[in-house]
Amino acid sequence: MNTRLYYLISLFALLTWFPHATLAQSNHAKYVGTGSCSSSNCHGSVHPVKGLNILGNEYYTWSKHDKHSQAYTNLQKSDAKRMTSLMGLGEPTEEPLCLKCHSTYVPDATMRGEKFDLEDGVSCESCHGAAERWLESHAILGATHQQNLDKGLADTVSLSKRATLCVSCHFGDSDKAVTHDLYGAGHPRLTFELDTYGALQPKHWLVDQDYTSRKASYIPLAAWFTGQTRLAEGVLARLSSPEQSKNGLFPELSLFDCYSCHHNLSEEQWKHRTYSGSPGRLHLNIVPLLMLQASLGGINTKISEEMAPLVTTLHKDYQQTGTTEAIAQLRALTSERISPLSSALQVTPDLCQSVFRSLATFGSKIESPKFEVAEQIAMGLQATLASSPQLAKKHGAAIQKIFATLTSSKAFDPARFTKAIAELANAIH
Ligand code: HEC
Ligand code: HEC
Ligand code: HEC
Ligand code: HEC
């Protein structure tokens, strides 16, 4: 993931100032296929079209620049074939496990329209929902967003619904996951953060004044916090699921911190590592919970204080007795208190300042942070900075220094990261 690229993108965004069940949002309508969207007077223009309130070149942007359009064709390549062959499965292009995330997965052929084409990969309707019932009406001049939603257009404006959608493939859900078997066969590591990945997706929409008046404004910190909440819910759901947390006799290994077992990042990293008291133990892979806990320090200290002992107990219990009470308590805390908080987050300059401080302080205190944690902290700081011109002006250069330590997981040196983030933490007060 190119975090530096993102840094540039969001600086640009700041200068110009500018928001269950995923495919199931279809309401039993047919998937009409991307070919129904791509006509040049709809979404298929090569350049943005003047005089429309949308860009008009969405199809072109998606097909030329957006990796989602390659999601299926990448299954035809040798890397993908090697994965399924190592796992004893058939062709990846016919394997539901792969198709669920790499295509608009509509197994029931009667729900596919004439122009439906599996090769389109993750296409318009993967995100915007089956279009049969709104295809015609949404193009009529004056059709409102609400009218389109009423006809079954999926709501991708609501950050909470958007997070559920993206996380369903970029982390997985009850129906699909990248398991350790699949990682072992060579699948790239999944990592996700709603604001960063939203900024990295080649933009086929523009959050300008017209967009804001039709839909909503977009605040990076709100997106970040909502994304972390959804990811934390995903982690907890997987830990509580009898099917997803086990692989035969053993626990599902992807639930654990990869570097409990694999020390292949760089020699540097693990020789210099300290272990907060328990070397050689398996640690759970719960980065989004740590991110929530750290940011809640600046949003709602009460919840943050309730959360901290539960996260500690979660680790201990899981290692010693396997009890799941802490998981259940954390699930309740996340869904009943944190999730509503994220939907109603009032992002003021003061809130940005306190989240920024909490995240930086948290980051500066972790002993020998792993790349996965460091990367998420940096993305959180960046989303916060991008939500506040004051912070951007004051700390932009310091964030750039932090990102400079994250150019690749192989070259990552935790000491350099800690030094850069400690400088930032000291400069905030
Ligand atoms: C149906 C599953 C699915 C959904 C839903 C989905 N993605 Fe993806 N996404 C993928 C797959 C698969 C890839 C990798 C495609 C490839 O390279 O073959 C991908 C790739 C990406 C990439 C490129 C990553 C890179 O390494 O360059 C970004 C950015 C991204 N997605 C953002 C998002 C965002 C933001 C959302 C929600 C608005 C989202 N995705 C929803 C499946 C999905
Ligand atoms: C839970 C969803 C999920 C499942 C299941 C899944 N993938 Fe992926 N896959 C992704 C996402 C998301 C990415 C992009 C990761 C990124 O760049 O952040 C990806 C990336 C890839 C890539 C790299 C593409 C590139 O751009 O080079 C390959 C190859 C791949 N997957 C093959 C497979 C195969 C084969 C299967 C089935 C055995 C499979 N995947 C199952 C979500 C999934
Ligand atoms: C990976 C998910 C994803 C895919 C694939 C995708 N979109 Fe989007 N699209 C979004 C998100 C997120 C937004 C921003 C929220 C919104 O306005 O609904 C958006 C916004 C839009 C908008 C709204 C622009 C506005 O100003 O109101 C249009 C039009 C659009 N997409 C068309 C398309 C078309 C056509 C395709 C296929 C060629 C496509 N999208 C594929 C996620 C996706
Ligand atoms: C409990 C220990 C454990 C954890 C945790 C773990 N793995 Fe593994 N991993 C293994 C073992 C054992 C193998 C098989 C090694 C062999 O075949 O020699 C393996 C194999 C692999 C392989 C195949 C290449 C190799 O080195 O042999 C990959 C890739 C991999 N794991 C990725 C991951 C990722 C990514 C994570 C975290 C999401 C993870 N692992 C977590 C124990 C673990």
Cα 240 to Cα 66, 338, 429, distances in angstroms? 34, 19, 40
State the pLDDT at residue 317.
82
Q: Are residues 240 and 338 in the same domain?
A: yes
Q: Are residues 150 and 231 in the same domain?
A: no
What letter would DSSP give residue 247? E
Residue 421 within any structural domain of the chain: yes
Residue 59 within any structural domain of the chain: yes
Structural domain harbouring 277:
220-428
Residue 354: strand pairing partners: none
Residue 106 within any structural domain of the chain: yes
Pocket test for ligand 3, best of 37, 104, 116, 127 (most atoms within 8 A of CB): 127
Helix or strand holding residue 177 (H, E): strand 176-177
371-385 helix and 414-428 helix, angle to the nearest 10 degrees: 30
State the pLDDT at residue 282.
78
Residue ranges for the chain with pLDDT beneath 50? 1, 8, 11-21, 24-26, 265, 270, 275, 277
Q: Are residues 28 and 139 in the same domain?
A: yes
Q: Are residues 323 and 400 in the same domain?
A: yes
State the pLDDT at residue 27.
63
Token couple for 230: 């959804």
Residue 321 within any structural domain of the chain: yes
Amino acid, single-letter form, for residue 177? A
Q: 176 phi and psi, to 5 degrees?
A: -155, 145
Q: Are residues 149 and 251 in the same domain?
A: no
* Structural domains of the chain, count: 2
Residue 37 within any structural domain of the chain: yes
Cα 285 to Cα 89, 260, 340, 372, 409, distances in angstroms? 27, 10, 24, 10, 17
Q: Are residues 255 and 401 in the same domain?
A: yes
Token couple for 237: 């759901």
Compute the distance between CA of residue 283 and CA of residue 36 in angstroms, rounded to an integer. 48
Residue 18 within any structural domain of the chain: no
Domain-ending residue, one of 156, 171, 193: 156
Domain-ending residue, one of 104, 129, 156: 156
**Among 360, 240, 392, 209, which Cα is nearest to 291's?**
360
| Closest-lying ligand 2 atom to the alpha carbon of residue 191 | 18
Residue 266 within any structural domain of the chain: yes
Residue 246: strand pairing partners: 251
Q: Are residues 237 and 131 in the same domain?
A: no
Domain-ending residue, one of 138, 156, 174: 156
Q: Are residues 258 and 142 in the same domain?
A: no
Q: Does residue 68 have its Cβ closer than 6 Å to ligand 2?
A: no
State the pLDDT at residue 17.
34
Compute the distance between CA of residue 323 and CA of residue 313 in angstroms, rounded to an integer. 10
Amino acid, single-letter form, for residue 164? T
| Closest-lying ligand 1 atom to the alpha carbon of residue 168 | 5
State the pLDDT at residue 367.
87
